[in-house]
Structure 1
Amino acid sequence: MIGNRVCWSRAAVDFATQVDVGGLEVDDPRADAVFDAIHQKLPVLREQGGGRSIEASEDDVLRAFTRPITSNEPLLLFIKGDKGTGKSHMVRWLKSRLGARPSWHVVYIEKRNTSLRRVTEKILTGIDTPKARQLREELARASSEIATAEEAVSALLARLDHLVTFDPATEIRGLSGVSPTELTDLRRKTHRLLGDYTFRKVLSRSDGPVHRIVRLARGGAEPSEDVDESDLHLTEADLQVDPAVFDDLGPELQNLVGSLVSNRYLRTDIAALCDWYLPRAKAEVFMGQGTDLLSVFEDVREEIAARGHELCLLIEDLVLLHGIDKQLAQALTIPASSRLCKLRAAIAVTSGYLHSLDTFTDRGVQFTLNINVKAIGQTGLRDFVGRYLNAGRLPDAPPANSASRGQIPDIPNACLSCADKPRCHATFGASTDGYGLYPFNGTAIDRLVELASPGGFQPREILREVIRGPLETAEDELPTGGIFPSGRFAKPLDDVRQAIPPGMRAAIRRTNHLSPDTEMSLRAFYAQSPPNADPALEAVAAYFGNQLSHGIADDQGESEEKDETPPKPQRSSASEIDQWANGASLLSSGTANRIRRWICDAVITHLQNGPYGVLISRIKGSRPAWLIGSHTLRLSDIQIDRSQGGGVVESPVPFRIEATDDNAILIQGVLAAADGSSLDSVDQGRWFFYLQTRISDYASRLAHLAAVDAATLLPAVQALEVLRNAATDPGHTVSTALPAMLMPAWPGGQHPAVEKFLKEVRPVRDEALTTVRAYATAAKGAGKPSLLDVGPLLRQIQVNLKARSVPSEPPGEDHDSPLLRQLQTRQSRAAEQAWNDVARSVQDVARFLDPTEDLSATLKVVDRLVKECHLRGRLPRADSKESYDTVRSQVGTESMEPYRRLSRKIASEVESGDLWDILNNPLPQLTALGRFAQVTQELLSGLEQNLTATQITGAVDTDALIRELRGLATLLDRACQEAQ
């Protein structure tokens, strides 16, 4: 198949479709030529007094800016608008229309690579005065001192802390209701926070507010980035920190941080205080503390006045000048004089930003960009795309002719030299400028713009989604022929081609085997009334080398040969099923449950009339359910994508209906059948034959699951027998074990590892119970399920009645049961963890107390010794008696029994079944015993040291010493006699 022409350059398209005018370098011949080629006229409003405005044009803006200055007042012109509305574009357009103005000293400040230093250097361009040289040196010095963003963040916080702490100002904007005493206290708290290393670290995180402010001040904004005014300020939300970060610091700072987090008013006041000094701190950090921009600006105007010129300043985005904007605003309002030159400035600024600059308010002419689809109109939008297409076709074109003052440059039309122009323009159309719309037509542009820029004019989205993406697809596919526009075409905008109903999409796939996606793209985007074919669409398809299907229609599947009536007009809104298939909305619970009920009834009918031999009974309840042998079929088992009313529990055996075009037809057929229509009323009944095959397969699967055999039952019974050991009374016979298997009463005070294990295996136990119940119910025949129908299970229960765990290698036949594998793995892990904890506790006790010791005799001796020594004041410390009594009250003679038992067990090999030996948590008892032994050991050691540490120096009272030793001996003898 013959391919189609690719009449544009990818490099030229990428260059022209940069998503912001800031990407096109000023005074670069090629960039200027492209800018002129793509410029879109923007409707504007000129603001009047009292909040009124009148319609205006770009020419009105140009005339207002270039009119002669007849007074000494500066001519200020503000271009306002929301983010992405083209404010910078308008300033750039003004620059391109100024032409040669020998008497003007023009300074243009771009968004790209803009920093506070760069802005100042731009203003100083061509100025060589002492103050200018001094400022350049100061800028260079400030720049050399800060090499990285981290240094800048640290320097900015340090300077901000200094200003907040030592500035004597008593009035702060945003804190008008704060008294001088309160302001002093607020400064103290702010200094305490900003001076703390941890708090600074929190504010200095890479995604935090100070890094954001520093990035913009150092020129980190992208050309396409619309900086939000709030990004330039510190707000109370920026001070919302995590109190846990400050847990290891002093109580004073912890209390202050706690107040900061809990008190929004405090955060707001601290943020207002910091934000008041932020511009000054930024200017001093990034431009030097000796900078006086107001003085330098006057010096610049003096120099320009001496040359007999006037200063023309154009600023693409005032927001990026935050830090020097107040000084600049003050400088721009100083009238001209014999010493100062006349001044005009055009400034782009986000709506609302001027309110923060009182000196600018009501001092200039204000224009607001009136950007909306209605104002631009359909023709304007097509022209907008056409200009970019033409720019992409001029990769080697010479720069546009320089425009004389106020005139539009001559832009070459690439189509004029193309041999395909007559047929191409006849098929695809052209803009009012004569630029061909190929590979789009006007309808395709309208549709794509509507999807990319809904509800308004968003030029960046149009550039990305209407021009760049589709042209990239076209560039790959057009040379082959018969492929474009494929499913890739405008996929981010409309993945499913919503303009085509799901029924027709499915019909196209059945009839167009070569390129169904291409046909759907043509119908969705190029047809005047999608999806209906029209002469213009057929011409486009023929040009691309494609064919459109004939004899298809939506929903009914009736061919055009049977029905010669004109095609139905496009519906004003898609049906619920169409929206579901397109991903636009969920299927309502009412519709979804009708589908679920119809399919469940079809499955039950198939089972009842098929050779399956299963018992089926209806389960009473609020929602329909059916017992199929041992398996329960519920409405929620019919799982429909993106639908409501299906519940939140995942079905073990789902019947899935995905959101596809074929399933949209299936759902329409089911709903029609549920309403009493014939099966062939939708898609000639094809949906029914497809669904019958799925229902048959699903019914066979349910019938297989309905019969639970002994191989499945045995692991379930074994799992319940093992888990019954967690009960208070696990039972030792079948009759006594059954209650523990079915409804165990678990004791309290379990070891944490055992408690965690029982929670983890709850699903295992529930699955085992379900299997046992299903087997018992099936064995009974029919009727209400009961857990007591265990007659057929007695033999299986008897076999493993003594099991405490699942054997690692079960004897006999292969028991590869996932159920038992889960239980075995988790029990082994829990036993290892629990016994490790117990072993550590036993070893801690063994350091002081032998397992064979007679604790009863020891307690009597030590109790008596502590009592007598306390009465005689011979204990090592004043609180020794209190410490001993505390730990003594927590132990008794019974404490040795679990200690001895666990010591013996640890000496042998511990198995997973031994988990049940520590069902009742022994750790508290072991801990108490170990603590008692440790305190007693320390107390006796202290007594020994008191006696042996006596130093004999000088004269010794021998009689007194003898009396002390005899007294201690008497105490020990008496204690031993009482112990016997």
Structure 2
Amino acid sequence: MSDFAGFVCWDKSTVTATIATEAVSPSRSVFLATHAPLDIHRTPVTGGRSGVPRVVSEQDVLRDFLTRPTNNGVLIMPVLGDSGAGKSHLVRWVAARTGSTSDRQVIYLPKDNTSLAGVINLLLADNHGSPFDEIRADMARIGREISQTALERSLLDQLAAALLEATPGPPQERALLGKQGLYVLLHDPFFREKLLRPGSLIPRRAAHAINGRDTEDGDVPLQFTVEDLPLDLTDIDEAALVSRRLYGRLASDPQLQVVAADLLQKHLDVAVMQATSLGVGRVYDAFLEIRRALAGKKEIVLLVEDFALVQGVQRDLLDAITETGERAGTQVLAPVRTLMAVTTGYFGALPDTVRTRVDSCSPYRYELRVTLSDDGARNTRAESRVVDMIGRYLNAARIGRERLDMLGVEDEASTPNACATCLVQEPCHSGFGTSSAGHGLYPYNESALLRAVRASASPERPDVFNPRGALARVVRTVLQDHEDDVRSGRFPNEHFASKFPPSRMETVLPDAVRARINELDPGAGGRRQALLQYWGDGPSELINLAPQIHDAFRIPQLPTDVIDAPTALPSRTQEPEPAGKLSDRELLPASVQRRLDQIEHWSLRGESFPEDLAREIRQIIRTAVLSRASWTDPVMKEPSTAILDKAWPRSARTVSIEGAAEAIARNVQPPIRFDRTPENAVFFADLVRLRAGIVEGTLQTRLRLDRLAELHAPTARRAVVSVLQSGDAELVSALRVSIVGASLAGVVVPGASDQALLNAALVDLTGFVRTDDATRSPLWKRALERHLSVRSALVRALREATGVSQGVSGEVHAVDARRLLPLVREASTKWRVSTDDEMPEWARPGYTPLLTVDDAVTEELRRLTELVAAIRLRLPIGTSLSQTFKAVSAAIDAGERHGFVRHTDLRLLRARNGAAEDLSTRALEVLESDLSSLDTSSSFETRLRVAAADRGNSLTRLLDYLEENEAWLDAGLAMPTGDESSEASELLRRLGAVVSDWSLLVSARESGS
């Protein structure tokens, strides 16, 4: 292994101490050692119109700024650019080259001293007496005598007062001013608490006044926006009525919200000045006093590193530096040259009067902007300047701040090159390259460096170089985070690649090449992909890089025969086809190509997976899985679309794609997951082609889709079973409900055969009526009626969970008895239901009525016992039913002749008596036997078997027969008569004997004997 393998030429702690991401942070030596020429665009401005920009140097800016005549004592030269473009760097460079002299006083406001007291002290430096000392004393009280909490509340008070006194403007403004406007909300304790929540604007603005700029604030000024209005309140009832009314209008009117935010921002600076005791106009007066004192002696050079961050004094300061210095040909105020860095957007928001004064001072505007591409083509000049700049910072990181300060570095010439004495300089520079100044780019080469720089740019402007982002991510973060990775042979890796996703401006390593790498190098495939993507500039084919790069990162070169072999799948980033031949892109429909491009951007550039494409991919995979799902093993009815949508939804809950917008609960684990890998990108691309009818070249994807469907089809089936609640445990509970319900109908009783139990569980019983319904107890009849009213749905669900049908909408025509019989046996081991049962929801309607079965059995057994007693009271044991028929017939005949029969229709009475001759006491004897078998130790199932049996209507017919004859016989016996014939005497004797026997039985039962 060579000395270059895992070589590290920097130290993390040195990097941290040396490389700062802000222009104002590094020491003077580090700043000058790393300074590189800037791309400054100078645009002529005439009559408010911009001309053609020209690139100039910082020396040009310095010369123009210091030598251009002022306009009546005023020169304001803004340096424009986006956040992080290097504006502050240019201002600091000018400050380093511009010192105070006998005819010039320099006032320098850096970004790291933007507290109100700090800004005031710098503005008023070297000026003493009144009013300067009074202003300093008032500022010193902030944070010392005036706490942040007090300042926050004072800010709200002063803001409310400013709005109360503000001059009304447009109608929407007028609705928010005055005592019924925003003044109300700012004084309402409820809303004040919301406006003072940690992290909201007022506390941040108060903190800025005390401590200055927070690094998390960046270059964005602390301004009121709609997002700072507390419009997300749910406990609004705690506010006063007038406040609730105004809040209601604000919450429902987006335009009014904008007006409210603008009003608050418009008066915020005034509120800051009043709340801090600075007061409006005091800084203006003090600065004019300085200008008066220096009139005719010196000019003032004011350098502001970020004007947006000089908050609280902007208004007074603008007025003071734009005040004309000459009056009636006499200089009364010292001239002021102001160079201020300001973001382009913030400058555009300044008052028109300020921008007009700026344009009148200078015919140019300066803007910092390094564009890495021009109309899609690479800007090699700009790239070279970027490489040179990063090279300087890499060199400084190797040397360290301490040594640079000790050497007193003033420029590039006085800055040593750390590579000059390095033992591995030759292989390092040969493999990784250098900047034009000879600074080694290791651990980058030019390709990797520029790709990382582009990835650090603003997503809105990926072609514009962002120095701050590059320093933070490309230099500082990588050298800190990956020092150990480089040393141990783990660099580059996927962690590095995730920091710098390629933009659409760049070529990318095709998915086919990435997949091939994974196949050849499964252990280090991710590292080799990152190596080719960044250090290899995203080649369209599998290649080796310079051997020194492979050596340094401990990634072996691939054998030549592997490199020369074609990739398994064609790349979509190949060289152009020969003239006259259509490329693959031109042959594909535009909609298909658009989707393929989206997949490429997702896979290779780290972009989000489009929502519509994700839906399409999920639907293809879902359809494949469901088509393989079996509804016959075990048998069940094919589920409906609604059930499938619920069990196997068309969403990320089923098929999750990394990078897609997916609202998945943390406890949900999608059964199918696709990570952001080249294999999955190829798979998705082929699915899109297949959907468009393009089959060629998709064999591997079709085989993978088939394997995927086969693998997850059982999961889909289990999901359907879960939604249907038709697993074995649920079916056992539901079958028990159906069987117990059938027992209420007398269809089955405990102890029945398995086949009888199965038939009973699946019988519908629509329109069913028990033959003994007339004698059933009220509780029994009520439970049966309620169960039967919902039984059809219960039985239908049981059949569909275990049966087959013709299609989704057809009726079940066969059930899986082989599966059902064991479940029925298990269900019938217990015939009692309780609230502790784990019951599927679809079985609950049929289950609830059965909770009263215990009481119904008890009541029914009592009723059956009373029925037996009523019959035996009239037909004692040992009395023949046939003899009774004959005796009653004879009594009718005899009684008719002697007038003992009191019945309206003797023919009907004889007919009923004749019809009763088919009655039998068999049912009575069986019931008596069943009842006698019960005692206090009898099980519930035994008691249910006796209570549930359908005993027909013979018992009620027998009782009715006996009770009817008893009635007319009692009536006849009660009649007085003088007929003493032997026939009548015999009749009376016989009837009296029967009545006597019945009376004895009744007496015996009533006495409990």
Q: TM-score, normalization: structure 1?
A: 0.64
Cα 1:740–1:99 shift into 2, 3 Å? farther
What is the alpha-carbon distance in structure 2 between the residues aligned to residue 653 and residue 359 of structure 1? 58
Does the 8 A contact of 1:487 with 1:518 survive in 2? yes
Cα 1:97–1:160 shift into 2, 3 Å? same
Partner deviation per Cα, 1:830-858 (whole Å, 9 max, x = no partner)? 99xxxxxxxxxxxxxxxxxxxxxxxxxxx
1:383 equivalent to 2:388? Answer yes
What is the alpha-carbon distance in structure 1 between the residues aligned to residue 341 and residue 262 of structure 2? 26
1:718: which partner in 2?
733
- The residue identity in structure 2 corresponding to 1:361 is T
Q: Displacement of 1:217 after TM fit?
A: 3.0
How many matched pairs?
A: 759
What are the within-5 Å matches in structure 2 for residues 27-176 of structure 1? Answer: 30-50=27-47, 51-53=49-51, 54-57=53-56, 58-67=58-67, 69=69, 72-98=72-98, 101-148=101-148, 150-165=149-164, 167=165, 171=167, 175=169
What is the alpha-carbon distance in structure 2 between the residues aligned to residue 183 and residue 784 of structure 1? 62
Does the 8 A contact of 1:733 with 1:801 survive in 2? no
1:222 equivalent to 2:221? Answer no
Counterpart pick for 1:23 among 22, 25, 28:
25
What are the within-5 Å matches in structure 2 for residues 927-946 of structure 1? Answer: none
The worse-fitting range, judged by mean Cα deviation, of 362-371 and 520-529 is: 362-371
What is the alpha-carbon distance in structure 2 between the residues aligned to residue 294 and residue 110 of structure 1? 20
- The residue identity in structure 2 corresponding to 1:356 is L
Does the 8 A contact of 2:509 with 2:539 survive in 1? yes
Q: Displacement of 1:525 after TM fit?
A: 1.2
Q: Displacement of 1:431 after TM fit?
A: 0.9
Q: Displacement of 1:378 after TM fit?
A: 1.8
What are the within-5 Å matches in structure 2 for residues 572-651 of structure 1? Answer: 584=607, 585=609, 640-642=655-657
What is the alpha-carbon distance in structure 1 between the residues aligned to residue 81 and residue 17 of structure 2? 25
Structure 1's unaligned 5+ residue stretches are: 25-29, 626-631, 744-764, 809-816, 832-980
What are the within-5 Å matches in structure 2 for residues 864-943 of structure 1? Answer: none
CA RMSD of aligned residues (A): 5.8
Does the 8 A contact of 1:279 with 1:322 survive in 2? yes
The worse-fitting range, judged by mean Cα deviation, of 789-798 and 84-93 is: 789-798
Partner deviation per Cα, 1:411-456 (whole Å, 9 max, x = no partner)? 3222222232233222211111221111111111122223332332
Cα 1:217–1:720 shift into 2, 3 Å? farther
Q: Displacement of 1:387 after TM fit?
A: 1.7
1:805: which partner in 2?
834
What is the alpha-carbon distance in structure 2 between the residues aligned to residue 141 and residue 34 of structure 1? 34
Cα 1:529–1:599 shift into 2, 3 Å? same
1:317 equivalent to 2:321? Answer no
2:436: which partner in 1?
432
- The residue identity in structure 2 corresponding to 1:322 is Q
The worse-fitting range, judged by mean Cα deviation, of 790-799 and 342-351 is: 790-799
Q: Displacement of 1:373 after TM fit?
A: 2.2
* Counterpart secondary structure, 2:127: coil
1:462 equivalent to 2:470? Answer yes
1:491: which partner in 2?
498
Q: Displacement of 1:47 after TM fit?
A: 3.8
Does the 8 A contact of 2:7 with 2:552 survive in 1? no
2:350: which partner in 1?
356
Does the 8 A contact of 2:196 with 2:202 survive in 1? yes
1:524 equivalent to 2:533? Answer yes
Structure 2's unaligned 5+ residue stretches are: 374-378, 586-592, 749-759, 768-790, 853-1009
Partner deviation per Cα, 1:690-746 (whole Å, 9 max, x = no partner)? 8887777667889999999x9954642524776999x9x998566999899999xxx
1:201: which partner in 2?
193
Does the 8 A contact of 1:451 with 1:493 survive in 2? yes
Cα 1:615–1:133 shift into 2, 3 Å? closer
What is the alpha-carbon distance in structure 2 between the residues aligned to residue 633 and residue 193 of structure 1? 50
What is the alpha-carbon distance in structure 1 between the residues aligned to residue 466 and residue 539 of structure 2? 24
Partner deviation per Cα, 1:555-590 (whole Å, 9 max, x = no partner)? 975699xxxx99999999966765665565365666
Does the 8 A contact of 1:22 with 1:112 survive in 2? yes
What are the within-5 Å matches in structure 2 for residues 333-482 of structure 1? Answer: 333-334=322-323, 335=325, 340-354=333-347, 355-357=349-351, 358-359=353-354, 361-363=356-358, 364-365=361-362, 366-374=365-373, 377-395=382-400, 396-399=402-405, 410-453=414-457, 454-481=462-489
1:512: which partner in 2?
521
Q: Displacement of 1:101 after TM fit?
A: 3.9
* Counterpart secondary structure, 1:415: helix
2:283: which partner in 1?
293
Q: Displacement of 1:122 after TM fit?
A: 0.8
Q: Displacement of 1:332 after TM fit?
A: 0.9
Partner deviation per Cα, 1:307-336 (whole Å, 9 max, x = no partner)? x43322111111122332121112112316
Cα 1:276–1:647 shift into 2, 3 Å? closer
What is the alpha-carbon distance in structure 2 between the residues aligned to residue 134 and residue 704 of structure 1? 80
Cα 1:717–1:424 shift into 2, 3 Å? closer
Counterpart pick for 2:183 among 176, 186, 191:
191
Q: Displacement of 1:95 after TM fit?
A: 0.9
Cα 1:248–1:820 shift into 2, 3 Å? closer
Does the 8 A contact of 1:227 with 1:319 survive in 2? yes
Partner deviation per Cα, 1:874-912 (whole Å, 9 max, x = no partner)? xxxxxxxxxxxxxxxxxxxxxxxxxxxxxxxxxxxxxxx
What is the alpha-carbon distance in structure 1 between the residues aligned to residue 495 and residue 747 of structure 2? 67
What is the alpha-carbon distance in structure 1 between the residues aligned to residue 765 and residue 311 of structure 2? 74
Q: Displacement of 1:6 after TM fit?
A: 1.3
2:811: which partner in 1?
786
- The residue identity in structure 1 corresponding to 2:193 is K
Q: Displacement of 1:372 after TM fit?
A: 2.6
What is the alpha-carbon distance in structure 2 between the residues aligned to residue 101 and residue 115 of structure 1? 27
Does the 8 A contact of 2:732 with 2:826 survive in 1? yes
- The residue identity in structure 2 corresponding to 1:162 is A
* Counterpart secondary structure, 1:280: helix
Q: Displacement of 1:120 after TM fit?
A: 0.8
1:777: which partner in 2?
803
Overall identity of the aligned pairs, in %? 23
Cα 1:802–1:669 shift into 2, 3 Å? same
1:232: which partner in 2?
223
Q: Displacement of 1:43 after TM fit?
A: 2.3
Partner deviation per Cα, 1:587-640 (whole Å, 9 max, x = no partner)? 566666666666777x58xx99xxx988899x7999999xxxxxx999999965
Cα 1:385–1:141 shift into 2, 3 Å? closer
Cα 1:285–1:408 shift into 2, 3 Å? farther
What is the alpha-carbon distance in structure 2 between the residues aligned to residue 707 and residue 291 of structure 1? 77
Partner deviation per Cα, 1:795-819 (whole Å, 9 max, x = no partner)? 67995997553546xxxxxxxx796
Cα 1:490–1:304 shift into 2, 3 Å? farther
Cα 1:111–1:223 shift into 2, 3 Å? farther
1:255 equivalent to 2:263? Answer no
- The residue identity in structure 1 corresponding to 2:50 is R
What is the alpha-carbon distance in structure 1 between the residues aligned to residue 839 and residue 37 of structure 2? 68
Does the 8 A contact of 1:716 with 1:771 survive in 2? no
Does the 8 A contact of 2:160 with 2:186 survive in 1? yes
Cα 1:86–1:614 shift into 2, 3 Å? same
- The residue identity in structure 2 corresponding to 1:160 is L
* Counterpart secondary structure, 1:23: coil
What is the alpha-carbon distance in structure 2 between the residues aligned to residue 634 and residue 210 of structure 1? 46
Does the 8 A contact of 1:401 with 1:409 survive in 2? no
Q: Displacement of 1:108 after TM fit?
A: 0.9
What are the within-5 Å matches in structure 2 for residues 856-867 of structure 1? Answer: none
